[in-house]
Amino acid sequence: MPVAIGKPVVICSAMVDNLAVDPDRLPHFYMDVDVTVNESGRPREIDVESNAPARLVRYVKAVLQQSRYRPRIAEAGNLVESNLSFRQTFPLDGSAAASNGLIAWNTVMVSQACGFVLARR
């Protein structure tokens, strides 16, 4: 059964196998991520400092590059470029689903997509 892992970016556990990452080591990895978001909500620059394997870093960066963000609105009401910083972790205990409603919803969606992808193999 597919499992969604990761916080705040949730990925399918089947991707761990595809990325050749040892699942026992996964909870020890982290990524400090800085994303510059342009006025249209698209990532312009993604910087990652990490102790994770390069394949996992590339995968998370690709997911972030395809994501869309709400741009910052300045006091004058115009959209401006902004920065987003967070720490990506990979808990295996399901704590990602319990942290907030949006992540819980995303976890469900990723799990469903994982099931679909695995069924097509």
pLDDT, tens only, 62-111: 888 888 888 888 888 888 888 989 998 887 665 544 455 555 656 666 66
Confidence of residue 1 (pLDDT cuts 50, 70, 90): very low
DSSP state, residue 70: P
Q: Indicate the pairing of strand 79-80 with strand 72-73.
A: antiparallel
Q: Look at residue 46 and give its three-state secondary structure.
A: strand
Look at the chain and report how many structural domains it folds into: 1
Q: What range defines the domain where residue 112 resides?
A: 4-119
- What pLDDT is recorded for position 32? 95
Q: Quote the pTM value.
A: 0.72
| Greater model confidence, 96 or 33 | 33
C-alpha angle 70/76/78, rounded to 5°? 40
* Exposed/middle/buried for residue 44 (C-beta within 10 Å: 0-12, 13-18, 19+): exposed
